[in-house]
Structures are given as structure tokens and as C-alpha cells.
């Protein structure tokens, strides 16, 4: 039997059903990459009974790569997904609770921090560890998806080793591009730096480094339009001086194509309460994982414009859990 409800009652019910539950916990970890899972291992061992929300990409960025060869402890290398499964299992062994869900809003205005999950549940946490990572920017070409893991990379430190004595291109004109090009120049035969303007945005020091590296060639005023190759990247198609009377299509043979046009830290929902730099990286008190809000800590790529490696993310995850544990014991 259907029961008739007056309109105002229906609206009240709907409001209630928007937030279904509220749960009180000691330690909430947002994000399940190397930083989040390492924080979970330490927090669980410190009896903080951490709850980890994985976000859309359970396991983080490394689940999108094949071999990880530079993480200590895996002498034969390991695939990214396998490594992150190991991290998860280790966190769960000590009692961390890993749940699928996305933090959609936060309220850090009081001592108990409120985090909304999937728009329908509120977690009230005494401490919060933010480990939401950063996302590399791509040009938006279909070819980037087609050749993902087959010659396209957004991390020279991670993948440069696979291109020893080969020819590669780096796209971008900022400090990251200059740094990645210089790093790759130490491994590769030739590095093309594809710059869309006729100047670099990079600092003078980095520009000098690029200029003084003999196997880097800068392709000024070139824009990437496509990549080609049978079973992986074999070359890049560029437009030189686009939109001018001197416009020209240029094809260059390369084995690897590296994006270095910036990263977006996944810090959007926290920006109202936390300090970030101009790009959006969360600022922490130097040498710690503490943000400007007591009880809220940040670790991994979301607070790291410089290193962005699995091992540095894991290290900072450990720091965040230790900082959270000390904060909670001082609160007692």
C-alpha cells in the first residue's frame, strides 16, 4: 500500500537520505597510493584504526604502469599493480580498513574534521591524512592513450632507463621539461625538447643547463599533433610556426615521448581550508607533514612539487602517520 505524504514531509525525508550515515573515527586516510597505504601501515601499527578511502584509482598512479624498477626491496622489479596490492595487503595485515569511496567535501573548521564520502556519508575524524596525489597533464591527443606504456610517459625518472642510447622527445618549456630533458640527456643518444613558443618558461639556471647539454636540441615554436609507429612510438608529427605563412609539418623519429607540461595536484576540495602554492600543491610545515590545520596532514605527490616518486610518497606517508599519532596522543 502506498502511503501519501504531504510535500513538506517528502522534502525532509529527501534531505535526510542525502546524508545516510555519520561515523566517528580516529584517523582517516584519503587516497590509496604509496603515500596513503604507507600512512595506513604506520597508523594501524600505532593502533589508530585507520580507515582508507581509495578514491577512483584504487592503488594510485602506479596501477597505470607496468614495471617499477626503482622501488627498493624488489631486486627483480615489480609491476605497479602488484606492488600496490602488496602495500594494501600489508596495511590490512595490521588492521587498516580499506574502503572504496571518494572524498567529495571537507569541513576543517572545528577540532573534529568532517569529510563527506560519496556525497552520502560523513566521517568525523580526529585526524585526517591527505594523500590524494597529483595528475600529470597530457596534451589531449588520441595517440597519447594509444601509446600509453608503449613509448608515452609523463615521468622521465621512472621510465628514462628504458630509453638508454635511444632518441626521445620531451614536450614543455618549464622547469620540469628542462629538468627531464637534462636527465634524459644523460641516458639517451638524443633529446628533442619541443617548445610551443620561442622562449622557455624555465628558470635561467635550467635554461643554461639545457643550452650547455650537447645532445639536447630545442625545437622552438613546434606543436605536437600526432605520434606514429607500428607496435609503439616510432616518431612524432609536429607543426612548426602554426598559423603563420611559414607553417610547416615536421616528422621526427623518436622511441619515447615524454610529457612535461605540468601536473595538477588533487587538492581542489581542501583549498578552502589549507594553504596551497600557486599550482595547488598543499603546503606543509617544512620537515613535517603538518598543514596549517591542526590534525590535518598531507603526504605524497599532493604536497610535493619536486620529487613525485613512489619512494618519496611512501616516506612522507610514514611521516604523516607518525605526526598524526603524536598529535592524537598530545590531545589526550
Which amino acids are annotated catalytic? Answer: 155, 158-159
Contact status: 54 vs ligand FAD (CB under 6 A): yes
Applying CB under 6 A, which of residues 27, 29, 32, 42 lies at the interface with ligand FAD? 32
Output the CA torsion sign for 69, 52, 329, 122: positive
Least gap, CB of 173 to ligand NAP (angstroms): 3
Cβ contacts of residue 171 below 8 Å, gap of 6+? 139, 177, 194, 224, 257, 258, 259, 260, 261
Count Cβ atoms within 10 A of the Cβ of residue 9 and give its class: 0-12 exposed, 13-18 middle, 19 or more buried.
Answer: exposed
Nearer to ligand FAD (CB atom), residue 81 or residue 294? 81
Least gap, CB of 59 to ligand FAD (angstroms): 6
Q: Which parts of this chain interact with ligand NAP (CB under 6 A)?
A: 139, 171-177, 179, 196-197, 201, 261-262, 279, 305
Nearer to ligand NAP (CB atom), residue 55 or residue 172? 172
Nearer to ligand NAP (CB atom), residue 304 or residue 325? 304
- How many residues can be counted in the chain? 332
Contact status: 31 vs ligand FAD (CB under 6 A): yes
Please tell me the distance from the alpha carbon of residue 93 to that of residue 274, in angstroms, as a whole number. Answer: 32
CA distances from 281 to 149, 182, 256, 311 (A): 26, 24, 28, 18
Least gap, CB of 155 to ligand FAD (angstroms): 5
Contact status: 154 vs ligand FAD (CB under 6 A): yes
Please tell me the distance from the alpha carbon of residue 131 to that of residue 317, in angstroms, as a whole number. Answer: 8
Please tell me the distance from the alpha carbon of residue 55 to that of residue 57, in angstroms, as a whole number. Answer: 6
Quote the strand ranges of 72-206, DSSP E: 78-79, 97-99, 103-107, 113-117, 121-130, 134-136, 152-153, 167-171, 190-194
Applying CB under 6 A, which of residues 266, 276, 289, 291 lies at the interface with ligand FAD? 266
Query: With CB cut-offs between 5 and 8 Å by kind, which of ligand NAP, ligand FAD, none does residue 175 bind?
Result: ligand NAP
Cβ of 101: how many Cβ atoms within 10 Å?
18
DSSP label of 289: -
Nearer to ligand NAP (CB atom), residue 128 or residue 218? 218
Count the alpha carbons within 13 Å of 250 in the hemisphere toward its beta carbon: 18
Q: Are 125 and 25 in contact (CB under 8 A)?
A: yes
Least gap, CB of 90 to ligand NAP (angstroms): 31
Query: With CB cut-offs between 5 and 8 Å by kind, which of ligand NAP, ligand FAD, none does residue 265 bind?
Result: none
Contact status: 151 vs ligand FAD (CB under 6 A): no
Least gap, CB of 123 to ligand NAP (angstroms): 32
Contact footprint for ligand FAD (CB under 6 A):
30-36, 53-58, 60-62, 64-65, 68, 70-71, 102-103, 131-133, 136, 154-155, 158, 266, 300-301, 308-311, 313
Amino acid at each position: 500500500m502506498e502511503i501519501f505524504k504531504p510535500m513538506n514531509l517528502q522534502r525532509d525525508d529527501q534531505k535526510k537520505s542525502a546524508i545516510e550515515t555519520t561515523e566517528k573515527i580516529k584517523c582517516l586516510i584519503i587516497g590509496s597510493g604509496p603515500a596513503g597505504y604507507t600512512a595506513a601501515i604506520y597508523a594501524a601499527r600505532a593502533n589508530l584504526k585507520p580507515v582508507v578511502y581509495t578514491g577512483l584509482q584504487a592503488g594510485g598512479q602506479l596501477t597505470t604502469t607496468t614495471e617499477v624498477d626503482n622501488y627498493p626491496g624488489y631486486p627483480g622489479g615489480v609491476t605497479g599493480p602488484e606492488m600496490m596490492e602488496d602495500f594494501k595487503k600489508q596495511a590490512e595485515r595490521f588492521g587498516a580498513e580499506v574502503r572504496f569511496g571518494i572524498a567529495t567535501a571537507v569541513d576543517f573548521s572545528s577540532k573534529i574534521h568532517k569529510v563527506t564520502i560519496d556525497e552520502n556519508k560523513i566521517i568525523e575524524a580526529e585526524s585526517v591524512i591527505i594523500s590524494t596525489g597529483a595528475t600529470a597533464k597530457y596534451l589531449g591527443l588520441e595517440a597519447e592513450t594509444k601509446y600509453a606504456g608503449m613509448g608515452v610517459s609523463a615521468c622521465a625518472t621512472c621510465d628514462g632507463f628504458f630509453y638508454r642510447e635511444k632518441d626521445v622527445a620531451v614536450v614543455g618549456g618549464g622547469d620540469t621539461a628542462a629538468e627531464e630533458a637534462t636527465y634524459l640527456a644523460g641516458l639517451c643518444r638524443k633529446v628533442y625538447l619541443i617548445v610551443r613558443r620561442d622562449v622557455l618558461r624555465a628558470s635561467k639556471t635550467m635554461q643554461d643547463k639545457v643550452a650547455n647539454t650537447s645532445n639536447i636540441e630545442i625545437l622552438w615554436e613546434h606543436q605536437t599533433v600526432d605520434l606514429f609507429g607500428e607496435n609503439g612510438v616510432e616518431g612524432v608529427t609536429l607543426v612548426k610556426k602554426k598559423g603563420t605563412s611559414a607553417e610547416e609539418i615536421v616528422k621526427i623519429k623518436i622511441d619515447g615521448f615524454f610529457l612535461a607540461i605540468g601536473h595538477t595536484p588533487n587538492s581542489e576540495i581542501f583549498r578552502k581550508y589549507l594553504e596551497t602554492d600557486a599550482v595547488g600543491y598543499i603546503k606543509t610545515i617544512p620537515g613535517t607533514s603538518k598543514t596549517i590545520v591542526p590534525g590535518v596532514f598531507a603526504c605524497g605527490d599532493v604536497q610535493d612539487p619536486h620529487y613525485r616518486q613512489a619512494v618519496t610518497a611512501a616516506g612522507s606517508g610514514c611521516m604523516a602517520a607518525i605526526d598524526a599519532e603524536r598529535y592524537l596522543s598530545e590531545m589526550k
